[in-house]
């Protein structure tokens, strides 16, 4: 079997690809009830309390629980008490398999879980008298899972905490929403578990997938709030005590369907061998477009998992991660999961979904770009000749970027470091990097030398200036050329220079001939020869 590199697989063997929101886990909360002062104001204005106490909300909690029990009886559905360690999704799949309607309640589950609630604490004044104080605390309370099927969103669940301030959670799946939209519009498609395998109208499918936005999600949640029991009566809602949605977790998936399973296995063989360092901090700041310093919290690592025969690649950044795996032996799935929006200096409110969407999908593409550049360095002989010779552009002369020159190699290694940064780089960003690569202190590699080298790279077309800024970004041609210089030197020239040639060593001319033959084979396999 002829081995194919990552670039060839992505270019020639992907039959269909789709970017879509996958799973989303949302928090439903009442903004006015997030502090002790907010609770005290609620108790005074809505409950008529002179002295706020959490005992005042006990009747509301009891009424809420009784309303859920009545709802179970009215709907004629089961109430399931989840056992410790039991997978709730497995139970939901059993009920879903027996459900035949377009929309409705599957069952109501009950589980005891920890939650952040208010409680009253007795405090002491300087004179010895006591007074109540409202504080936040974490304690196990009953939660009610309402598993349902929505006409537009498909299977999902809404979970209510049975204790004040009655926070709720919503879990939905964007691919299930997409499948229902395609069916409603009578667009022929072949479904994939949690995805789409093929369709006759790929552009239209992608357009519909892009249509899942915050207003649609919020409208679905409001619809079910009107049908399900919840603790806040009309008077509370009129006073402004309404649920708002925020994002706890969001998955952004890129699914690339491959022509055959063997292609997927070949992809992961290449990726795993070449990208074990993709979880390093310098790689993370390229994939996520975030600066990583020694103070950046969290782990930065790459994990390769091989459960059974299905390999997967995991890259972690703070509380977020990128996962890549061979889905059902049919598709390459690359998905970014954002567990804390503040990792990217974005708020958690649902209206921030477009910004998170851009970050998630860009991270997927940049990871593939890293893997792509690791393998595909195909360039032409004319391009290589132009870079390695002096050039004149608009009456400006630039010196040659000769292969093997130590300073040129340092520049190329610097370009590899900043190759995937969407914000580009500045003069002051690259100067210490180049100095370090040259084995000098920054003062020995002056600002004027940096300016000279950046000018050389720009005139040769390896970098370009970002409009209306002092930043530069690497061009596609520059990324390929930098990878070529660095890899060929590291794998071909450096070993040759280190071979001993002393008499009797057995590693003289014959060893060099073997090296030359091996290098020739390597260049042919890497498609670097003219």
Q: How many domains does the structure of the chain reveal?
A: 3
- Do 394 and 336 lie in one domain? The reply is no
- Do 304 and 412 lie in one domain? The reply is no
- Looking at residue 289, its pLDDT comes to 45
Residue 529: helix, strand or coil by DSSP?
A: coil
- Looking at residue 496, its pLDDT comes to 45
Whether residue 506 lies inside any domain: the answer is no
User: What H or E segment, with its residue span, contains residue 302?
Assistant: strand 301-307
Whether residue 400 lies inside any domain: the answer is yes
Per-residue pLDDT of the chain (530 residues; tens, 9 = 90+): 445 666 677 777 889 999 999 999 999 999 999 998 899 899 999 988 888 888 889 999 999 999 999 999 999 999 999 998 889 999 999 999 999 989 999 999 999 999 998 888 888 888 888 887 888 889 999 999 999 999 999 999 999 999 999 999 999 999 999 999 999 999 999 998 888 999 999 999 999 999 999 999 999 999 999 999 989 999 999 999 999 999 999 999 999 988 876 676 667 666 655 544 443 443 334 334 444 455 555 554 445 444 444 567 777 777 888 888 888 778 889 999 999 998 888 999 999 999 999 989 988 887 887 776 655 555 556 677 778 889 888 888 889 998 888 899 999 988 888 876 666 788 888 999 899 888 888 888 989 999 999 999 999 999 999 888 888 988 878 887 887 888 777 766 655 444 444 444 444 445 555 655 665 665 555 544 43
Whether residue 513 lies inside any domain: the answer is no
| Residue at which a domain ends, from 341, 376, 411 | 376
| Per-residue tokens: 362 | 């860009």
Where in the sequence is the domain holding 130, given as residue range(s)? 31-165+219-242
- Do 265 and 326 lie in one domain? The reply is yes
- Do 407 and 476 lie in one domain? The reply is yes
CA dist 352 and 339 (Å) reads 14
Q: 3-state secondary structure string, 466-489?
A: CCCCCCEEECHHHHHHHHHHHHHH
- Do 330 and 387 lie in one domain? The reply is no
- Do 396 and 336 lie in one domain? The reply is no
Whether residue 440 lies inside any domain: the answer is yes
Whether residue 525 lies inside any domain: the answer is no
| Residue at which a domain ends, from 324, 358, 376 | 376
Whether residue 521 lies inside any domain: the answer is no
- Do 385 and 310 lie in one domain? The reply is no
CA dist 80 and 100 (Å) reads 20
- Do 231 and 101 lie in one domain? The reply is yes
**Residue 120 CB partners (closer than 8 Å, separation 6+):** 53, 54, 55, 132, 133, 134, 135
Number of CB atoms found within 10 A of residue 517's CB:
10
- Do 156 and 201 lie in one domain? The reply is no
- Do 14 and 51 lie in one domain? The reply is no
Whether residue 515 lies inside any domain: the answer is no
- Do 293 and 367 lie in one domain? The reply is yes
CATH number, domain of 409, equals 1.10.10.10
Whether residue 520 lies inside any domain: the answer is no
- Do 139 and 258 lie in one domain? The reply is no
């Amino acid at each position: 079997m002829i081995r194919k590199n990552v670039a060839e697989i992505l270019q020639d063997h992907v039959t269909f690809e789709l970017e879509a929101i996958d799973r989303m886990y949302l928090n439903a909360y009442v903004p006015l009830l997030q502090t002790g002062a907010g609770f005290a104001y609620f108790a005074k204005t809505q409950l008529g309390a002179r002295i706020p106490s959490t005992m005042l909300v006990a009747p509301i909690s009891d009424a809420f629980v009784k309303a859920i029990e009545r709802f179970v009886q009215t709907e004629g559905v089961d109430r399931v008490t989840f056992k410790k360690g039991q997978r709730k999704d497995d139970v939901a799949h059993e009920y879903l398999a027996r459900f035949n309607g377009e929309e409705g309640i599957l069952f109501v589950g009950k589980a005891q879980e920890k939650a952040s609630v208010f409680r009253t604490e007795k405090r002491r004044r300087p004179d010895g008298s006591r007074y109540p104080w409202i504080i936040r605390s974490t304690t196990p309370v009953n939660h009610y899972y309402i598993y349902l099927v929505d006409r537009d969103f498909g299977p999902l669940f809404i979970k209510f905490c049975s204790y004040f301030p009655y926070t709720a959670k919503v879990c939905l799946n964007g691919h299930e929403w997409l499948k229902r939209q395609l069916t409603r519009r009578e667009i022929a498609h072949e479904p994939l578990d949690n995805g789409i395998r093929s369709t006759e109208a790929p552009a239209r499918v992608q357009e519909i997938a892009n249509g899942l936005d915050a207003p649609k999600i919020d409208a679905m949640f409001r619809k079910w709030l009107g049908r399900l029991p919840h603790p806040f009566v009309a008077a509370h809602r009129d006073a402004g005590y309404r649920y708002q949605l925020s994002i706890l977790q969001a998955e952004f998936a890129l699914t690339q369907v491959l022509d055959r399973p063997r292609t997927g296995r070949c992809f992961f063989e290449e990726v795993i061998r070449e990208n074990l360092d993709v979880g390093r901090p310098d790689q993370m700041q390229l994939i996520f477009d975030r600066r990583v310093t020694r103070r950046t919290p969290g782990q930065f690592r790459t994990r390769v998992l091989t459960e059974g025969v299905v390999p997967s690649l995991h890259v972690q950044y703070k509380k977020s991660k990128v996962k890549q795996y061979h889905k059902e032996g049919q598709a390459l799935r690359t998905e970014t999961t954002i567990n804390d929006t503040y990792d990217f200096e974005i708020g958690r409110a649902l209206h921030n979904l477009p910004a998170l969407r851009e970050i998630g999908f860009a991270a997927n593409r940049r990871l593939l770009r890293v893997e792509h550049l690791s393998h595909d360095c195909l360039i032409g002989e004319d391009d290589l000749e132009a870079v390695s010779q002096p050039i004149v552009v608009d009456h400006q002369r630039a010196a040659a970027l000769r292969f093997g020159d130590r300073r040129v190699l340092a520049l190329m290694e610097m370009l590899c470091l900043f190759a995937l940064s969407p914000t580009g780089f500045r003069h002051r960003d690259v100067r210490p990097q180049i100095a370090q690569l040259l084995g000098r202190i920054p003062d020995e590699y002056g600002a004027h030398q940096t300016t000279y080298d950046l000018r050389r790279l720009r005139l040769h077309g390896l970098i370009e200036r970002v409009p209306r800024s002092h930043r530069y970004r690497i061009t596609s041609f520059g990324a390929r050329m930098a990878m070529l210089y660095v890899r060929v030197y590291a794998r071909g020239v450096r070993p040759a220079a280190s071979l001993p040639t002393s008499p009797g060593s057995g590693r003289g001319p014959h060893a060099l001939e073997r090296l030359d033959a091996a290098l020739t084979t390597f260049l042919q396999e890497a498609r670097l020869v003219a």
